[in-house]
Chain A
Amino acid sequence: MATDALHSAHDHIHPAPEGFISKYVFSIDHKVIAIQYFMTGFLFFGIAGLLAELVRIQLLVPKGLIMSSSVYNGVYTLHGSAMVWMVIIPLVTGAFGNFVMPLQIGARDVAFPWLNMVSFWIFPVAGAILFYSALIGAPDAGWTEYPPISLQGPPGTTMWCVAIFLIGISSTMTGLNFMVTIIKMRAPGMTWTRMPLFTWATYATALMNMVATVALSAALAALFMERVFGVPFYDPAHGGSPVLWQHMFWFYSHPAVYIMILPAFGIVSEVLPTFSRKPIFGYKMIAFSSMAIALLGFAVWAHHMFTSGMAPWLQLPFMIITMVIAVPTGVKIFSWTATLWGGRIHFSAAMLFATAFIATFTFGGLTGFFLASVPADLHEHGTYFVVGHFHYVLFGGSVMGIMAGLYYWWPKATGRLMSEKLGKLHFWMTFIGMNGTFLPMHWLGLQGMPRRYATYETFAHAYPGAQLWNDVATYSSFIMALGLPLVIFNMIWSLKHGKRAGANPWGARTLEWMIASPPPYYNFKHIPQVLGLPYDFSEPLPYRNLDHKTDPYPAPSPATLSPGPLTVGAGV
């Protein structure tokens, strides 16, 4: 009797919504929400990318080409804020996490679909408020908005607080939703150590989103209250402390770095074995190192504050823990490399981005090691070395990962393959452009070029190569930027002219490839049973009870069905 009851719980399929509004606008389907996140995120990516180009054009000549210092301050502040909160975090969690994770664990949706919809709809509102702030006096203290400058900043700074607070609430809710989904809704047989690596990464990310983002909300609420009601938290003139903001801000924003990179790690961990036709090397090490990074990530925030007048005895532990994070990260990099070793590598567009990711991210990680070291950081802090470093991590890491994931899962989401030729062209433009843009920043920084300055005439006197290398960076950034319309064209083109993908165009083994492309509303007609890891490319498939006709096993009778996710959840 119990089995029958559980079986019916399993096959509890809700009918798909009919109307346009409930289907495409206020949808509670995780796949539609993911596409909404993706489109909104890409729109903001375009805007924030244009702002970056304005910054680069300004720096073509030492005295600044197109704008005043105050406008410049607003431009880079909005660029940074939008890229972090309105582009990368929503894309890696909201878009990829939402689309892929429930499919990978064999669930019909996330745990709280309605909450998921609310999370999404906060996002465009927050983005609109952020960009609207430019009209009433753009925030101008950089994306970190350190007081006391941010306390004296233009009216838009208050809008900035509201926008980031809102997107923070959205992130927290998404994190909570994903945590519960992964803990409670995995298909029968999918133990923790059979979970796909992207899902592992999403789990670690969700944990950080849920816990750390609230710290940012608190810091922003205090900044808002101080700006609007004059309540002293940060203003030293009234007994407050600007360093307090830095502690609260970085207690979130350092984990946020891992929120942005861990899902990209997950994407790469899916793409590499698929296109090497080889099981992932060190599955457990990759999975657990994500968790190690997530936990250690909470104990390193003050490495951003070595020059802020923090107590010297505190610097050493923060330096050491920061360097320790390189260990789980290195574990991943070696595991990926070992996955490639001896594999039958097929360089599709997704694979090109994923392999390039290993190189560019590692480079960004290594310069991070320089910055973690207190004596070196004292020299490098506030220079273009830092800008070069975090763009290698965020562009060379997160964005390359996003692009790999885009080419990889696009056929699953739309049923059509993107053009591989255009994809490879996009890759080479992006790869050459990004290295040309961000590599010179390292030696510009080491020579002493300060970040966030609208002009560099003084620096150009001290370092003759200043303009040359800034121009190299700017022209390279044009190449990189032109890749964006190319990939957008490719996406739109593929919807009509792309080859039909079929269920599993890449021959991958994770669960999302075992159903039709695009997946039906209910994802899985029968919840599959998982028998093993999804990275073994031999036959038979590690699943039972698949809807798809490639299922090598006969459909089991209800009596042999596993009790379902309830018991799996209970074991956790």
Chain B
Amino acid sequence: MAIAGLADHDAVAARYKSVDPVYEQTRDMRLLGFVFFLLSDVVLFSMFIFAYLYLRSSVPNWPPITASGHRLPRFDTAFAAWNSIVLFGSGVTMHFAMENWKHLNREKFNFWLVSTIGLGIAFLLGQAYEYHNAAISWAGSTMGASFFTLTGMHGFHVFLGVLYLVVLLVQANRGVYTPSKYFGLTAGTLYWHFVDVIWVALFYLFYLM
């Protein structure tokens, strides 16, 4: 990847290690705690995905056929695909933001983080548009129930993520983080990638499967 000044990985690693032991232990614990938090979040999504697959496999047809005899429509895969590209793109920009922070390119960090926030908001607007134009409702069928619950939970995670990234942007520019102490940014990056990965699963389950 052609980003200027990203070759000096040793310098990045050296800065990461140069912290005092109290901070190092705190960072270790927070990182582990954050990973565990994401793990428990994975279980939350997994349970609803299990519920979706269970309900889906318990009827002969999917999309299910309603009591009045008509078959529910499939979701708009093409639109969701474009929206997915927006979200995955935000994962890439987040990666650039983090790398630039580690390599002390403050301006590029700001540019990529703001891009990430913008793409996150764009994804949420796309989801709002999709919800608004959906042919099925949350309460109408098990298909609607699992779709809106899972994508809604995911959308809520993206929403919280956008808020978190805004806080990180402000904090980073106020000097809360230093070249060697930036756990908040690490956590934000992890969280954002996590939200991306969850979307891969949801996109397959609702639009492709």
Interface pick from B30-38, B80-88, B179-187: B30-38
Provide the residues of chain A in CB contact with B64, threshold 8 Å. 239
Q: How far is the CB of B191 from chain A (nearest CB, A)?
A: 15
Provide the residues of chain A in CB contact with B40, threshold 8 Å. 172, 176, 210-211, 213-214
Bitwise interface map of A from 1 to 42 toward B, beta carbon under 8 Å scored 1, else 0: 000011011001000000000000000000000000000000
- Considering only CB atoms, which chain A residue lies closest to B148 in the complex? A231
Give the number of chain A interface residues (Cβ < 8 Å). Answer: 43
Provide the residues of chain B in CB contact with A566, threshold 8 Å. 21, 24-25, 28
Q: Does residue B54 face the partner (Cβ distance < 8 Å to A)?
A: yes
CB within 8 A of B141: which of A12, A213, A232?
A232
Establish whether residues A5 and B51, one from each chain, have CB atoms under 8 Å apart when the complex forms.
no
Q: Does residue B138 face the partner (Cβ distance < 8 Å to A)?
A: yes
Bitwise interface map of A from 39 to 60 toward B, beta carbon under 8 Å scored 1, else 0: 0000000000000000000000
Establish whether residues B36 and A251, one from each chain, have CB atoms under 8 Å apart when the complex forms.
no
A231 to B28, CA, bound (A): 42
Provide the residues of chain A in CB contact with B47, threshold 8 Å. 214-215, 218-219, 248, 251
A217 to B153, CA, bound (A): 13
- Considering only CB atoms, which chain B residue lies closest to A110 in the complex? B29
A9 to B19, CA, bound (A): 12
Bitwise interface map of B from 49 to 60 toward A, beta carbon under 8 Å scored 1, else 0: 011001100110
CB within 8 A of A233: which of B25, B33, B51?
B51
Provide the residues of chain A in CB contact with B20, threshold 8 Å. 5, 9
Provide the residues of chain A in CB contact with B58, threshold 8 Å. 241
Residue from A239, A244, A565 whose CB has the most chain B CB atoms within 10 Å: A239
Establish whether residues B22 and A247, one from each chain, have CB atoms under 8 Å apart when the complex forms.
no
Provide the residues of chain A in CB contact with B149, threshold 8 Å. 222, 225, 231
Provide the residues of chain B in CB contact with A247, threshold 8 Å. 50, 54
Q: How far is the CB of B27 from chain A (nearest CB, A)?
A: 11
Establish whether residues A233 and B142, one from each chain, have CB atoms under 8 Å apart when the complex forms.
yes
Interchain Cβ contacts under 8 Å between A and B, 19 examples: A184-B28, A210-B40, A211-B40, A214-B47, A215-B47, A218-B47, A218-B51, A231-B149, A233-B142, A240-B55, A241-B54, A244-B51, A244-B54, A244-B55, A247-B50, A247-B54, A248-B50, A248-B51, A566-B24
CB within 8 A of A239: which of B36, B41, B51, B141?
B141
Q: Does residue B48 face the partner (Cβ distance < 8 Å to A)?
A: yes
Q: Does residue B145 face the partner (Cβ distance < 8 Å to A)?
A: yes
Q: Does residue A111 face the partner (Cβ distance < 8 Å to B)?
A: yes
Q: How far is the CB of B95 from chain A (nearest CB, A)?
A: 26
CB within 8 A of B142: which of A225, A238, A569?
A238
A238 to B55, CA, bound (A): 11
Establish whether residues A184 and B142, one from each chain, have CB atoms under 8 Å apart when the complex forms.
no
Bitwise interface map of A from 467 to 493 toward B, beta carbon under 8 Å scored 1, else 0: 000000000000000000000000000
Q: Does residue A495 face the partner (Cβ distance < 8 Å to B)?
A: no
Q: How far is the CB of A351 from chain B (nearest CB, A)?
A: 36
Q: Does residue B163 face the partner (Cβ distance < 8 Å to A)?
A: no
Establish whether residues A214 and B24, one from each chain, have CB atoms under 8 Å apart when the complex forms.
no
- Asked whether A231 and B44 contact (CB < 8 A) given A5-B20, A239-B64, A248-B51, the answer is no
CB within 8 A of B29: which of A185, A211, A212, A218?
A185
Q: How far is the CB of B83 from chain A (nearest CB, A)?
A: 23
Provide the residues of chain A in CB contact with B4, threshold 8 Å. none
A307 to B138, CA, bound (A): 32
A66 to B185, CA, bound (A): 62
Q: Which A residues, 160 to 174, have Cβ-Cβ distances below 8 Å to chain B?
A: 172
Q: Which A residues, 416 to 473, have Cβ-Cβ distances below 8 Å to chain B?
A: none
The interface residues of chain B, by DSSP majority, are classed as: helix
Provide the residues of chain A in CB contact with B48, threshold 8 Å. 218, 222
Provide the residues of chain B in CB contact with A313, threshold 8 Å. none
CB within 8 A of B51: which of A176, A211, A222, A229?
A222
CB within 8 A of B32: which of A184, A222, A233?
A184
Provide the residues of chain B in CB contact with A219, threshold 8 Å. 47
CB within 8 A of A210: which of B39, B54, B145?
B39
A217 to B149, CA, bound (A): 14
Establish whether residues B21 and A6, one from each chain, have CB atoms under 8 Å apart when the complex forms.
yes
Q: How far is the CB of A305 from chain B (nearest CB, A)?
A: 13
Provide the residues of chain B in CB contact with A211, threshold 8 Å. 39-40, 43
A467 to B161, CA, bound (A): 61
A111 to B142, CA, bound (A): 41
Provide the residues of chain A in CB contact with B14, threshold 8 Å. none
- Considering only CB atoms, which chain B residue lies closest to A239 in the complex? B142
- Considering only CB atoms, which chain B residue lies closest to A570 in the complex? B28
Establish whether residues A229 and B141, one from each chain, have CB atoms under 8 Å apart when the complex forms.
no
Establish whether residues B145 and A217, one from each chain, have CB atoms under 8 Å apart when the complex forms.
no
Q: Does residue B139 face the partner (Cβ distance < 8 Å to A)?
A: yes
CB within 8 A of B22: which of A9, A177, A240, A248?
A9
Q: Does residue A399 face the partner (Cβ distance < 8 Å to B)?
A: no
A211 to B42, CA, bound (A): 9
Beyond known contacts A239-B59, A240-B55, A244-B51: 11 more, CB 8 A cutoff: A112-B29, A172-B40, A210-B40, A214-B44, A218-B44, A225-B145, A225-B149, A231-B139, A241-B55, A565-B25, A566-B25
Q: How far is the CB of B13 from chain A (nearest CB, A)?
A: 15
Q: Does residue A230 face the partner (Cβ distance < 8 Å to B)?
A: yes
A231 to B55, CA, bound (A): 13
Q: How far is the CB of A488 from chain B (nearest CB, A)?
A: 36
Q: How far is the CB of B123 from chain A (nearest CB, A)?
A: 23
Provide the residues of chain B in CB contact with A229, threshold 8 Å. 138-139
Q: Which A residues, 161 to 215, have Cβ-Cβ distances below 8 Å to chain B?
A: 172, 176-177, 179-180, 183-185, 210-215
Establish whether residues B39 and A5, one from each chain, have CB atoms under 8 Å apart when the complex forms.
no
Q: Which A residues, 492 to 510, have Cβ-Cβ distances below 8 Å to chain B?
A: none
Provide the residues of chain A in CB contact with B144, threshold 8 Å. 231
